Structure 1
Amino acid sequence: MEDFLKLLNRRPCCPYCQGQQTVKNGSTHNKKQKFKCKQCGKQFVEHSTKKKISQETKNLIDKLLLEKISLAGIARSVGVSPTWLQNYVNNKYAQTPRKLKVSEKAQGKLIIECDELWSFVRKKDNQQWVWLAIDRKTREIVGVYIGDRSRNSAQKLWESLPPVYRQCAVCYTDFWVSYEKVIASKRHKPVGKESGKTSHIERFNNTLRQRVSRLVRRTLSFSKTLENHIGAIWYFIHHYNECRAG
């Protein structure tokens, strides 16, 4: 009888830190006993059948997020649950820096091309414009802002540029009125598409739509939250600049 009581009151070791100071902590939706480790604070279920995702699988997911594949498609392809994948993506995008790493440039003749790309979150009435600036010579993205299509957003794009560009660069844009209110007239060159002076940024816009599924004009992969919409765009742009630097 004493042995039975000991078995009944036994507490399993923590699978994360191997600590033995564990306590009962409620139950799961299917009535399995949950435990909590007093040492590391993590919760767990003894003899859990939950599948652990390997680092190799996570690395593959990181690469697939850079391609025009929906989250549902990624979940099916790599064999993970949609819920786990959504949580993983939420964390990854939340941790993605909102500031560019741009190679150092000396003061001199710098040329950038600026443009804005239409997108939306959840419904097409909720428009989100992606403002971008590209260095014509290095093809690096040197400025990013995501917001509306107002003068304030044009100002935010300008402020996102490294100081050397704000001081020296000649800026080619389309004729959208917000640009002329922000960029000094002596360095602002508004041109039409037929001039070819903004062809590099327009080509990048096309690349962005081809690689980020939530930016495709007609798609079921559109963003449901603004945070993930912004995170996905920043995630790809960081990857793009790293490839240019390499």
Structure 2
Amino acid sequence: MSIHKLICPSCGSNHIVKNGTIHNKKQKYQCQNCQRQFVENSQRDYISNETKELIDKLLLEKISLAGIIRVTGVSEKWLQNYVNKKYAQVLRSIKCTKKKTGKLTIQCDEMWSFVGNKNNKQWLWLAIDIETCIIVGFYLGERGEKGALGLWNSLPGVYRQCAVCYTDFWSAYELVFPDSRHKSVGKETGLTAYIERLNNTLRQRISRLVRKTLSCTKKLENHLGAIWYFINHDNEAIASL
């Protein structure tokens, strides 16, 4: 039996039927047009698109989820669900403009982080094109040979084929990177300055990467998603200049 006095909050239809009750025994209704379920005179606050856009921006700054809650007024449960969904949908591959084969130079480095507690170390392996400052490689994992291989495999094919790769003296690079195009150098040479600056930027912009932080990640998937979210945004911002 239709409830004609009610209007669907989604599509405006008045083809409404009763559909059980919620946890406090309040009557629940369902729209026969769009299948939206709702209660009459709901006290639930709906989050505006403007607030969601603000949250998307705040996730790119060194601010905890608790801080975002204080700024926007959303609930902890809603924000955590929103962040979980957003990070799960983040593109997890490098998008960079097509490069011609030829002289390319990248700088690579690894950076320590953790998930849950400091015994669960997760190393960020990063590579940056020094001409464009685009991040062209990223891998999260252990610090040994497997991590270096993950970084190498994350590089677009043209970089694996042509690029000269500058790194520090960490032995894992020598086990994976081709000898003819791998150069180990010290910080004093300045030949890893771009990647070291990137490491500093990441620690300044992503709160979960700060060495001493209350914003540590409890889920590896969110840790990875937060980093990829920043990398994609940073690369898009540079490419648009």
Tell me if both proteins adopt one fold, taking TM over 0.5 as the criterion. yes
| Structure 2 counterpart of 1:3 | none
Residues 11, 23 of structure 1: 8 Å contact kept: no
CA distance in 1, matches of 2:118, 2:180: 37
**In the alignment, does 2:218 pair up with 1:232?**
no
| Structure 2 counterpart of 1:33 | 27
| Structure 2 counterpart of 1:200 | 194
The superposition leaves residues 157-203 of structure 1 with CA deviations (integer Å, 9 ceiling, x where unpaired) of 11111111010000011122221111100101111222221111011
CA distance in 2, matches of 1:150, 1:14: 57
AA aligned opposite 1:56: E
Aligned-residue offset at 1:139: 0.6
Paired residue total = 240
Residues 166, 185 of structure 2: 8 Å contact kept: yes
Secondary structure, aligned partner of 1:131: strand
Residues 4, 15 of structure 2: 8 Å contact kept: no
Secondary structure, aligned partner of 1:129: strand
TM-score (norm 2): 0.92
Point out where structure 2 has 5 or more consecutive residues left out of the alignment.
none
| Structure 1 counterpart of 2:211 | 217
For residues 14-163 of structure 1, the aligned pairs below 5 Å read: 14-163=8-157
Point out where structure 1 has 5 or more consecutive residues left out of the alignment.
1-5
The superposition leaves residues 3-49 of structure 1 with CA deviations (integer Å, 9 ceiling, x where unpaired) of xxx99x77844322334454444433333222334443432222111
Secondary structure, aligned partner of 2:67: helix
RMSD: 1.9
CA distance in 1, matches of 2:133, 2:84: 29
The superposition leaves residues 184-223 of structure 1 with CA deviations (integer Å, 9 ceiling, x where unpaired) of 0010111122222111101101100100011111111111
CA distance in 1, matches of 2:99, 2:30: 53
Identical pairs, percent: 62
